[in-house]
Amino acid sequence: MKKGLKIVGNILLWLFVVVAVFMTIIAFSSTKNENGVAVIFGRMPITILSESMDPTLKKGDLIISHELSPEQKGTLSEDDIITYKVDLNGDGFMELNTHRITAVRTNGGFVYYTTKGDNNAIADTQEVRYDNVVGVYNGRRVPAVGAVLNFLQTPTGFLICVVIPLILFLLYEIYNFIRVMISMKSDKQNKEYEEEIKKKAIEEYLAQQKTEQPDKAVSEDTKTS
């Protein structure tokens, strides 16, 4: 039972290490991307931050989008769900938003998309120019994981959920290594001690035999006389 629990514990620990490495890759790749989105083999994990796409996509979902080349960004169609950059708050900073394309318009060599949230009554007032598109949803999502991923990508979340547990894991493995080494050394010492006891026992036995042999010789001489 104890051995089984130890095996399960080790499996869980290594699974955590795999997840931590994955999260590290996402965190570092997102910092290198111009859109602030992680890109892994052409796929982008994106978090849904509002309820505007209910019931198709729910707040907190993690969706997977395809990264698009500049040429592909201008070839999207109605009903595609895209993630794009837009100034949602009018503060001059571009945020990411995920909505569905409801219309496509070309003007002056540029392609513009009209978008709308599935849960919204009217279309968005701002059209999305093709070069502001970040990715297109590929139909895969993981419910409620996006919020966790967002937290892990913050310095605090990364420290609490990845760095500190990894340090504890490393210390635990060092402790196990030291414990095994001490156990091996102890076993070796015990064997050496046992061998020493056996050696002494044999030496004492041989010495006793040597002592008894002259006594036997004297006894035989007495009988003969």
In the sheet where 133-142 sits, what is the strand order? Answer: 43-47, 62-67, 133-142, 81-86, 95-107, 110-116, 128-129
Q: Is 142 helix (H, G, I), strand (E, B) or coil?
A: strand
- Mean pLDDT, all residues of the chain: 81
| Domain 41-145 in this protein, CATH class | mainly beta
Res. 24 pLDDT band, cuts 50 70 90 = low
pLDDT digits (tens, 9 = 90+) for 136-174: 999 998 887 777 777 776 778 777 777 787 788 788 888
Which candidate, 114, 125, 38, places its Cα nearest to that of 76? Answer: 114
pLDDT at 223: 56
Residues contacting 17, CB < 8 A, separation 6+: 166, 169
Give the angle subtended at the CA of 90 by the CAs of 87 and 96, to the nearest 5°: 20
pLDDT at 84: 95
Is residue 18 over pLDDT 80? no
Q: What residue spans define the domains of the chain?
A: 1-32+154-212, 41-145
Distance CA 48, CA 28 (A): 20
Instruction: State pTM to two decimals.
Output: 0.61
Span 33-55, pLDDT tens digits: 677 777 777 888 888 989 999 99
Q: CA 163, CA 28: separation in Å to the nearest integer?
A: 14
Residues belonging to the chain: 225
